[in-house]
Amino acid sequence: MTPRGALMPLITIDHERCRKDGLCVSICQKIFTQESPNTVPVVSNEGFCNSCGHCVLICPSGAITQVNCPTGNVHQVRNELLPTYEQMRELIISRRSTRTFQDKPVDKAIIEKIINGASFAPSAKNAQSTEYVVVEDKALLHALAERTAFCLGKSADQLRNPIWRRLYLMMGKVDTEQLARWTGQFSLIAKRMTEGADLILFNAPALILFHGDSRIAFAEANANLAFQNASMIASSLNIGHFYTGYMVAAWGRDKEMRKLLNLPARHRLYAGLALGHPKIRFSKWIDRNPAKVEWR
């Protein structure tokens, strides 16, 4: 019995049920130790636990209890539903960025399935730091696209400035040809927006934004891993989508963009997924450049 005022242990091992197989030690040596074979493992560094649940999942006798991984949250893998390599590869190679959408909404249930899939992405230290904003309001979608296009127009003007152009070239990240392409593309997008053509969201009926607390280590990586999961789920549901890179960049540079979204304090926007029912579907895929691999 835990004394009054004492904290409940995060991890406990039922000595009666434990098979002493050391599987928990094998998968998590920073938490568990085993003095010798065929002895009950010891929780030696509970403070290092990320609550990932691996120890609970791997224990064949259910001897391990983790406060943040209750029995009701543990489910059996349905192996019969797992895709084969060929099926998974076909999904990956057939995925295309879609920018032509039908004029109809995406059901809330579909969006929830996409976010649910995103939430199972790996995250550093199991932080699960990614949060989501779903935008369906047409006025807000247009305002976000319009402001992003305006920011690109400002960037194009900046890139025409000889001093800024020289600075970019000195940084060595781009060359003269790339700068010219950027300037031309940014100007075109800004101009087309003033003419009523949306080259930012392409009139997508829904947008999922991935954000997180910037103080959390690897929050950006966590969000983009979540985005990739979301992309695969969207593809499996035949929902067209694309990564809204221009919008993410504009959010980081423009106060008005940040006001429009009003994310929590210290949060940053890390990824965006524009989505809708595709107007045009791709029935073919094309080879990519061979992967550059060095075996060592």
pLDDT digits (tens, 9 = 90+) for 235-256: 999 999 999 999 999 999 999 9
Q: Is residue 288 part of a domain?
A: no
Separation between Cα atoms, residue 177 and residue 256, nearest integer Å: 31
Average pLDDT taken over every residue of the chain: 94
pLDDT of residue 171: 84
pLDDT digits (tens, 9 = 90+) for 271-294: 999 999 999 999 999 999 999 999
Query: CA–CA separation, 192 vs 196, rounded Å?
Result: 6
**Residue 158 domain flag:** yes
In a domain, 1, yes or no: no
Model pLDDT for residues 108-136, shown as the tens digit of each residue: 999 999 999 999 999 999 999 999 999 99
Structure tokens at 134: 């779903």
User: What pLDDT was estimated at residue 5?
Assistant: 47
Residue 27, domain extent: 11-73
Residues 6+ positions from 231 with CB-CB distance below 8 Å:
95, 241, 243, 273
Maximum C-alpha span of the chain:
76
- Same domain flag for 159 and 193: yes
Q: Model confidence over 12-55: pLDDT tens digits?
A: 999 999 999 999 999 999 999 999 999 999 999 999 999 999 99
- Mean pLDDT on 216-245: 98
- Tell me the pLDDT band of 146, cut-offs 50, 70 and 90: very high
Residues 256, 143 contacting (CB under 8 angstroms): no
Indicate which CATH number applies to the domain containing 27. 3.30.70.20
Q: What pTM, to 2 d.p., does this model score? A: 0.92
Question: Does 102 lie in the same domain as 62?
Answer: no
Question: Is 116 part of a structural domain of the chain?
Answer: yes
- Output the CA angle 225-271-277, nearest 5 degrees: 95
Q: Does a structural domain hold residue 163?
A: yes
Question: Does 105 share its domain with 53?
Answer: no
Is 63 part of a structural domain of the chain? yes
* Dihedral sign of CA atoms 179, 181, 187, 193 in order: negative
Does pLDDT of 168 surpass 90? no
> Are 235 and 201 in a shared domain?
yes
Check if the beta carbon of residue 133 is closer than 8 Å to that of residue 251: no
25 and 118 fall within a common domain: no
* 39 and 124 housed in the same domain: no
64 and 147 share one domain:
no
Q: What is the DSSP letter of 73?
A: G
CATH of the domain at 267: 3.40.109.10
Reported as a pLDDT band with limits 50, 70 and 90, residue 258 is very high
Tell me what pLDDT residue 32 has. Answer: 96
Say if residue 110 is in the same domain as residue 214: yes
Residue 2 has what pLDDT? Answer: 43
Q: Tell me, what's the pLDDT at 214?
A: 97
78 domain residue, yes or no? no
Judge contact between 209 and 133, C-beta under 8 A: yes
Give the chain's domain count: 2
Q: What is the pLDDT of residue 164?
A: 83
Q: How confident is the model at residue 176 (pLDDT cuts 50, 70, 90)?
A: confident
Does 103 lie in the same domain as 63?
no
**Which tokens hold the place of 87?**
């099926």
**Quick check: 3 pLDDT over 70?**
no
